[in-house]
Amino acid sequence: MGTPTSAAEPAAANPLKAPAKALLTKVSATRPPAKAPVRTPAVRAAPGKAAPARGDGSRTTSARARGTRRGVDADGAREALVALRQEVAKAVVGQDAVVTGLAIALLCRGHVLLEGVPGVAKTLLVRAVAAALSLDTKRVQFTPDLMPGDITGSLVYDNRAADFTFRPGPVFTNLLLADEINRTPPKTQASLLEAMEERQVSVDGTPRLLPDPFVVCATQNPVEYEGTYPLPEAQLDRFLLKLTVGLPGRDDEVKILAAHDSGFDPRDLQAAGLRPVAGVAELEAGRAAVRSVTVAPEVMAYVVDLCRATRTSPSLSLGVSPRGATALLSTAKAWAWLSGRDYLTPDDVKALARPTLRHRVSVRAEAELEGVTPDGVLDGVLSSVPVPR
């Protein structure tokens, strides 16, 4: 996950591209794995009926994601989520770092902003991750005439019942692909704010809970800004990660062409051999294990020092907020757990600093003219802040 350019970042510079087999062979610490809570899935509302409102104690779970609830330990959940990269690679080649970022977002219950030029399989990537995790997914193409009700749903008059009934919008899913989110006006962009933060939507004054898990995967094109509406800082800060989907390397591109020459159909993932390797139970077990990752006071102070250093950088007009600091702590803990440890290290923080913070800082106009980028500023911060021993 490099800077927002078309070039892919070298693997050596990106710890998230570590081979899946290497992640599985890392030695875990002595803390026993946390047991995942087993919850009875909620019954989904019948079509045309109102989803449960806040306060009734229930939350909907998609029929596909519901599956069979079973107890899953932390080690089993880790192996399943690490295997996610190998499974997605059957359909999407050369984007292991992005798949890892999506897994971290699901573990942290956060949202992801995917940035890349057209044709690098952003949509296919989200669909493949959803298929490998047995999750529902819906896609919304954001256009200038898209209305908030087209996303959240609306009240529709039912002639048979002589009453208005709620018709859920595409936001009622597990993975929502908001394609080219910067091509719709701020009014429609803002309709996602409540869904992203509160995990509910309010229609006609009635809040309706969204399925769990719920993650927004929004895409935007970094090279074409004509007719677009840049996301405001308040909405950018709602995204847990900003991942760059770069162009594949030469060898990976040869594999892509060979797959298509052999009859690969991106619209038929089952024919490509892609099968579910994990589900809601593994995600719940992983979340419980991530919450139990130990953070030493020195490492926690290191996270704070990194974020505070961005606020005094002469190249930035806006530094990282406390929300960004908590996001960095969460993503670093998830990466530590995926790496086989139940404690956080400064290297874990460094590995997630750029994807977690790059969209939370604003470069001054004069510095931007000199070629300064958010990733470049963050690299300088990482090299200047003392690392705890």
**In a domain? residue 153:** yes
For the entire predicted model, the pTM comes to 0.81
- Token couple for 358: 């790059």
Identify residue 189 by its one-letter amino acid code.
Q
Sign of CA pseudo-dihedral 117, 121, 123, 128: negative
Res. 107: pLDDT tops 80: yes
Q: Rank 150-164, 203-217, 335-349 by mean pLDDT and report only the highest.
A: 335-349
pLDDT tens by residue, 308-327: 999 999 999 999 999 999 99
Tell me the C-alpha distance between 235 and 10, whole Å: 30
Q: Examine the fold and report which residue of 229, 259, 292 is the final residue of a domain before the chain moves on.
A: 292
Same domain as 251, residue 359: no
Return the beta strands (E) in the chain as ranges: 112-115, 137-141, 153-158, 163-168, 175-179, 200-203, 206-209, 215-220, 241-244, 316-318, 362-363
DSSP assignment of 14-37 equals -GGG--HHHHHHSPP-SSPPPPPP
Instruction: Choose between 10 and 131: higher pLDDT.
Output: 131
Instruction: Choose between 359 and 38: higher pLDDT.
Output: 359
pLDDT tens by residue, 11-50: 345 666 665 544 544 433 334 444 444 343 343 443 444 4
168 CB neighbour count, 10 Å cutoff: 22
**In a domain? residue 196:** yes
Q: Examine the fold and report which residue of 292, 315, 345 is the final residue of a domain before the chain moves on.
A: 292
What's the number of domains the chain is made of? 2
Start-to-end CA distance of the chain, whole Å, equals 27
Q: Are strands 215-220 and 112-115 parallel, antiparallel or unpaired?
A: parallel
Domain that includes residue 379, residue range: 293-389
- pLDDT for 19: 56
Where does 113-216 have alpha helices with state H? 122-132, 149-152, 186-198
Q: Examine the fold and report which residue of 256, 276, 292 is the final residue of a domain before the chain moves on.
A: 292
- pLDDT for 170: 94
Same domain as 234, residue 108: yes
Closest CA to 247 of 86, 129, 119, 375: 119
Same domain as 273, residue 349: no
Same domain as 303, residue 263: no
